[in-house]
Amino acid sequence: MSSIITKFAGLELKSPVIVGSSSQTASVSKLAEYEKEGAGAVVLKSLFEESITMEIASYDSEIHPEAYDYISAYVSDKVLSDYLNLIREAKKVCTIPVIASIACHTDGKWEEFARRIAEAGADAIELNIMSLCTARNYTDGTFEKLNADIVSHVAGMVDIPVIAKIGSNLTNPVSMCDRMYAAGAKAVVLFNRFYPTDIDIDNMAFSAGNPFTSSADLSLQLRWAGLVSSSVPALPVAISGGVDSWQGVVKSLLSGASAVEVASSIIRNGAGWISDANEGLKLWQEKKGFGGIDDYKGKLNASEPENYDKLIRTQFIRHFSEVH
């Protein structure tokens, strides 16, 4: 029987399916269910920098400065304390790796948070670096340096693996991943998903877009996983977004990913999606005669010239000029 064990960020996973961060992964009973269904790891619901900042801002800043500073510190510590309790409770019910998640966009405050998260027993920390660079007077490289600095400072504070989850809004994700590796990241996740914006034309107001991904979203990740895994082979890659079937898992592994993070499909279909995906993966491996994931991982990444040519293709000319 073939094996679906894989390694990611220095962690051995019994399956390449990692349950991605969502509201569901704040429930300890859900985490236990995900492990029972065969998840390789779980990423806890993110600790959001934006939420902490907004909660602090909700207090009247005109009060005495010392009182305001106290409130700010209290809110931050309370949010972190609740999160540390989630980690401890998760570790009581899970034998698979429990990965903490920090969704951030600034540098400077996460070092202490990371230290306490590691002390609480998290097996790794995923830094979900979410930011839009919109400054008109932007200096080239500033945004990329911020990303690398956040990883470097957190990685310097903890002994557990630091995973960088980056956005696709980068000029060169390959170069960014190389910088992440140099900064101390033990793995990278491609890509984080921004809050989806839509417009309600009846009320002429902003509304929330569809928060779920679909198989149509997988193409971008496959391209960059194929390029990153070839160019920065020492940095394990996980794909996030668009994996909605066992076939999506196979495609991700062939592109060079070591694992996939899945949230939308599990929320829509339930925890049983994990066992179905694992079973589909095993049957495909056995049909192809593979003993394990390492036998074919990256088979279609950019290491081969003909694969590279396909991965960097940006034009539709050939597709639409072919006679069908």
- Per-residue confidence band for 94, with pLDDT thresholds at 50, 70 and 90: very high
Longest dimension (CA), the chain: 74
Mean pLDDT of 249-276: 97
Residue 199 CA, chain-centre distance (Å), reads 27
Mean pLDDT of 244-252: 98
pLDDT at 71 over 70: no
Q: How far apart are CA 163 and CA 184, in angstroms?
A: 9
Token match 């510590």: residue?
77
Residue 123 CB-density burial (10 A; 0-12 exposed, 13-18 middle, 19+ buried): buried
Which conformational region is residue 313 in: left (phi greater than 0), alpha (psi within -120 to 50 degrees), or beta? beta
Residues 215-249 as b/e (b if ≥16 CB within 10 A, e otherwise) read: eebbebbbbbbbbbbbbbeebbbbbbbbbbbbebb
Give residue-wise pLDDT tens across range 173-220: 999 999 999 999 999 999 988 777 889 999 999 888 777 777 788 999
For 182, the enclosing helix (H) or strand (E) is: helix 173-183
- As separate numbers, helices (DSSP H) first and strands (DSSP E) second, the chain gives 12, 13
Q: How far apart are CA 63 and CA 121, in angstroms?
A: 38
pLDDT at 61 over 80: no
Q: State in Å, rounded, how far the first CA of the chain is from the last one.
A: 41
Give residue-wise pLDDT tens across range 98-118: 999 998 767 666 788 899 999
Q: What is the pLDDT of residue 56?
A: 45
For 274, the enclosing helix (H) or strand (E) is: helix 272-288
Phi, psi torsion values for 86, nearest 5 degrees: -60, -45
Token match 């401890």: residue?
88
Give residue-wise pLDDT tens across range 269-320: 999 999 999 999 999 999 999 999 999 999 999 999 999 999 988 766 555 5
Q: How far apart are CA 215 and CA 225, in angstroms?
A: 16
